Amino acid sequence: MEVPSNLQRGVRSQYMKTLSRLRLTRTRFFGSNKVRLSVSAPPSHSPCTGCRLPPTFQSWFTVTNLHIWMLTVRLRALPDGKYYTQALIDHFFIDIEDRIRTVLQPPSTPTKPYTFSSPFYVNPNAPSPDDPKDSKGRTKPRSRAPDRLVTRQMKIFKEQWAGMGLAFDLGLVKGDMEMAAAVWRNLLGARGAQGIAFPDSDSTDKTNKSFRRSVNLVGGEVVNVAKIDLAKEETRDDGSGVHDFAPEEADLYVEYPQLMLDVVRYVRRELSRLDEISDEQIMNGPVDHLKFGRVWQ
């Protein structure tokens, strides 16, 4: 069957528009060093430091996901904003997959244009001078990262991305109390959800370290909560580095109300600033206009 020429032109036009949006979001937000300009902050003012998040890949994703959400709030207000929003998210997940593969099986040189050196986490598998060499003295190339493991991790991050976005969208319209709850659950790892453990002055075993983390009871494609032992899962280290404070660190919970207030203020302040930038500046202006400020002024 012959395809009508006007339909061909329509499909071609839509394809070119989509390609243009993908290129634009890559150039504006994921090209060169723009990601680092947008979401990185000096270590002393970093959300990771202030929120006591460990220097792990999970912390990088959590902090970056928050800033991606703030950008999407502004992009949704653009003409055809849903397409630019989708293009930004597409590039975000391309970056995530590239970073996952680089952490699992890092190449001798970072893959461009997406992978940058990150101040948020340290790659334990990064190449070193002690790596095996070939007959010409070159570092032997590593095999590909296991696709099954990469796919599983991508699904987990997809669920976290969707959950954080919905939680902050709700906080955006319902108020600061709802947004503070979203900060606690998504950024702070819901520490203390099952209560706060205090030091036991009567205990003589000083080497017994308690460990407990919050578990997502909603579940998703990766984890079926009906099939897990919750008590056992709460005490399993998932490698994210985010878990309840140890009893001897219980005083850190005192900071949480102020910490949640500070992060909510930061989010509101940055959303207000982005809202004041014109559509033309968002799409074509200097990238410095999009650079996020510090959480703590």
Check: pTM over 0.85? Answer yes or no: no
CA 254, CA 133: separation in Å to the nearest integer? 52
pLDDT at site 249: 80
pLDDT at site 230: 67
Q: What are phi and psi of 258, to 5 degrees?
A: -65, -40
Burial, 130: exposed, middle or buried (Cβ in 10 Å; 0-12, 13-18, 19+)? exposed
pLDDT at site 72: 94
CA 11, CA 26: separation in Å to the nearest integer? 23
Q: What is the 3-state secondary structure (H, E, C) of 172-220?
A: HHHCHHHHHHHHHHHHCCCCCCCCCCCCCCCCCCCCCCCCCCCCCCCCC
CB-based contact 295:41 (threshold 8 Å)? yes
pLDDT at site 261: 92
pLDDT at site 93: 92
Low-confidence residues in the chain, pLDDT < 50: 1-16, 18-19, 32-45, 207-208
Q: At what angle do helices 256-276 and 57-75 cross, to 10 degrees?
A: 40
pLDDT in tens, 27-81: 555 553 433 333 433 334 455 567 788 888 888 899 899 999 999 999 999 988 8
pLDDT at site 41: 39
pLDDT at site 57: 86
**Separation of first and last alpha carbons in the chain:** 64
